[in-house]
């Protein structure tokens, strides 16, 4: 697997493929349940093998929650007093509050105002509003349009259906040599918005495609489990059905959302803060863009809330670009296909793949010789010296200098300030020449004894 995610020559570059998929999924009206979610999964299944679809009936108890009724919508519109259709669901599915109950009613502007939602601070934007757990209906519109409404009788039609059905989610497992897993979650429950959320599912689709292709050539070290779920109720439902398995096998996990714009990269830590997932994400981001933004678990807002909850305690952190809640277009009609780009999606794909690579390459190694190994006689030393080769030798010697089995390869790469994926060849050569042995877990180091001895001496002095 290439850490930079380069496509095989002749195929569509991943960034373009991801953008094209986002464009295809964009018009569908999705929600936490219903046919929009199913249709989106069906489309994604055309691109990847092995997508399993699960249906969980409404009313199922999932931890402290209950799977809600299923919501579907065919059409919605508002006719003004002059008989003109001024709001049309077919122009923007954001016009209808998610989970709106059906309505076909004539009413005054005053009565209608109680059901209207707009954003005075962003007068051009249609807000994204939902009401999953209290039955009501609502129409969302721009503040400018709202201000233009004159008094008179309005006709509101929402042709929706809210009744027992099921919650749908998708899962893909790519088996590796180990049953230990890397877990990746993304959500697919928003109507027409691009960064939050289509960027997550399209990057995940491309990652699945890529990992399947890689595992055909050479088995991956770890098993990869991907889930495409409705946010919150979906992660709670998934956890309630798979918790034991996840707790037994997941060594690192990532919640992927808002990965389509190219304004910045961001990281949000797991609750435990220093898991393998956190370290891999930080390492991958640091060597992609040192100016990436760091958020603490206190800034959480997506499914990491469930994955890191007390008693669940999965090692899940987030790699994102402009994070949820942190960009002006968030949850409005302005979060459209102009906000994301092939480059933005490609950058996220690359950085997530790098984080995976860090985990694949992470192990505890111990050098088998005393003193520096003589690399020249093994052909590991370049025979000509250039700036490039000098840097390579320096990285290799620094790496070897810390191989006492106490730090993992990822920790050493961090310490010597070199991307772990660039040390892959060095690690392979050290193994080939039988210069290192793998150790199962960190060894206690003689350095600890030295430090202890120094502290004792300091105290005596």
Q: Residue 380 has what DSSP assignment?
A: -
The stretch near Zn ion (CB under 5 A) out of 7-15, 20-28, 193-201, 203-211 is 193-201
Helix (H) or strand (E) holding 105: strand 103-108
Token pair recorded at residue 106? 């004539």
- Other C-beta atoms closer than 10 Å to the C-beta of 203 total 31
Helices (H), 2-99: 14-25, 35-45
The stretch near Zn ion (CB under 5 A) out of 91-99, 151-159, 188-196, 367-375 is 188-196
Q: Considering the complex, state which of residue 89 and residue 187 has its C-beta at the smaller distance from Zn ion.
A: 187
Token pair recorded at residue 137? 């209906």
Q: Kindly state the smallest distance separating residue 301's Cβ from Zn ion, in Å.
A: 8
Q: Considering the complex, state which of residue 176 and residue 230 has its C-beta at the smaller distance from Zn ion.
A: 230
Q: Kindly state the smallest distance separating residue 352's Cβ from Zn ion, in Å.
A: 19
Q: Considering the complex, state which of residue 258 and residue 280 has its C-beta at the smaller distance from Zn ion.
A: 258
Q: Kindly state the smallest distance separating residue 197's Cβ from Zn ion, in Å.
A: 6
> Cβ contacts of residue 35 below 8 Å, gap of 6+?
72
Assess contact for 169 and 30: CB atoms under 8 A.
Answer: no
Q: Kindly state the smallest distance separating residue 93's Cβ from Zn ion, in Å.
A: 14
> Cβ contacts of residue 385 below 8 Å, gap of 6+?
none
Q: Kindly state the smallest distance separating residue 231's Cβ from Zn ion, in Å.
A: 7
The stretch near Zn ion (CB under 5 A) out of 196-204, 210-218, 345-353, 359-367 is 196-204
Q: Kindly state the smallest distance separating residue 303's Cβ from Zn ion, in Å.
A: 11
Q: Cα separation of 20 and 13, whole Å? A: 11
Helices (H), 308-362: 342-361
Q: Considering the complex, state which of residue 196 and residue 278 has its C-beta at the smaller distance from Zn ion.
A: 196
303 binds Zn ion (CB under 5 A): no
70, 196, 360, 395: residue in contact with Zn ion (rule CB under 5 A): 196
Q: Cα separation of 126 and 119, whole Å? A: 7
Report in angstroms the alpha-carbon separations of 123 from 14, 118, 143, 191: 36, 8, 4, 20
Question: Which residue minimizes CB distance to Zn ion?
Answer: 196
Q: Considering the complex, state which of residue 196 and residue 360 has its C-beta at the smaller distance from Zn ion.
A: 196
The stretch near Zn ion (CB under 5 A) out of 68-76, 104-112, 168-176, 195-203 is 195-203
> Cβ contacts of residue 444 below 8 Å, gap of 6+?
406
Q: Cα separation of 51 and 212, whole Å? A: 12
Q: Kindly state the smallest distance separating residue 259's Cβ from Zn ion, in Å.
A: 13
Q: Considering the complex, state which of residue 200 and residue 315 has its C-beta at the smaller distance from Zn ion.
A: 200
Q: Considering the complex, state which of residue 223 and residue 306 has its C-beta at the smaller distance from Zn ion.
A: 306
Query: Which residues contact Zn ion (rule: CB under 5 A)?
Result: 196
């Amino acid at each position: 697997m290439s850490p930079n995610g380069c496509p095989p020559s002749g195929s569509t570059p991943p960034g373009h493929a991801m953008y094209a998929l986002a464009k295809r999924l964009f018009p569908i009206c999705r929600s936490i349940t219903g046919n929009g979610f199913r249709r989106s999964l069906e489309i994604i299944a055309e691109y990847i093998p092995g997508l399993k679809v699960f249906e969980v009936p409404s009313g199922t108890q999932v931890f402290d929650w209950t799977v809600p009724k299923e919501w579907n919508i065919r059409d919605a519109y508002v006719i003004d007093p002059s008989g003109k259709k001024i709001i049309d669901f077919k122009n923007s599915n954001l016009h209808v509050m998610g989970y709106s109950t059906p309505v076909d009613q004539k009413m005054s502007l005053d009565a209608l105002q109680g059901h209207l939602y707009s954003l005075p601070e962003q007068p051009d934007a249609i807000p994204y509003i939902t009401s999953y757990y209290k039955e009501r209906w609502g129409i969302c519109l721009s503040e400018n349009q709202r201000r233009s409404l004159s008094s008179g009788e309005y006709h509101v039609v929402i042709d929706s259906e809210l009744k027992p059905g099921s919650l749908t989610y998708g899962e893909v497992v790519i088996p590796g040599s180990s049953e230990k897993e890397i877990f990746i979650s993304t959500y697919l429950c928003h109507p027409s918005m691009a960064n939050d959320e289509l960027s997550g599912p399209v990057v995940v689709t491309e990652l699945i495609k890529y990992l399947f292709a890689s595992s055909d050539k050479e088995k991956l070290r770890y098993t990869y489990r991907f889930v495409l779920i409705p946010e919150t109720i979906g992660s709670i439902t998934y956890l309630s059905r798979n918790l034991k398995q996840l707790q037994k096998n997941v060594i690192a996990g990532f919640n992927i959302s808002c990965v389509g714009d190219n304004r910045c990269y961001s990281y949000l830590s797991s609750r435990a803060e220093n898991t393998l997932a956190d370290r891999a994400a930080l390492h991958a981001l640091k060597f992609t863009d040192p100016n990436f933004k760091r958020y603490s678990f206190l800034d959480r807002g997506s499914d990491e809330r469930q994955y890191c909850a007390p008693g669940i305690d999965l090692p899940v952190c987030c790699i994102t670009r402009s994070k949820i809640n942190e960009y002006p277009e968030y949850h409005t009609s302005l979060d459209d296909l102009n906000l994301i780009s092939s480059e933005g999606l490609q950058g996220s794909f690359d950085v997530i793949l790098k984080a995976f690579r860090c985990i694949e390459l992470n192990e505890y190694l111990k050098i088998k010789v005393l003193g520096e190994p003589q690399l020249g006689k093994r052909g590991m030393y370049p025979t000509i010296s250039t700036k490039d080769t000098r840097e390579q030798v320096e990285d290799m010697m620094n790496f070897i200098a810390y191989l006492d089995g106490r730090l993992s390869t990822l920790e050493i790469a961090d310490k010597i300030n070199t991307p772990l994926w660039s040390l892959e060849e060095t690690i392979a050569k050290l193994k080939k020449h039988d210069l290192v042995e793998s150790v199962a877990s960190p060894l206690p180091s003689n350095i600890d004894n030295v430090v202890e001895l120094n502290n004792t001496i300091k105290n005596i002095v």
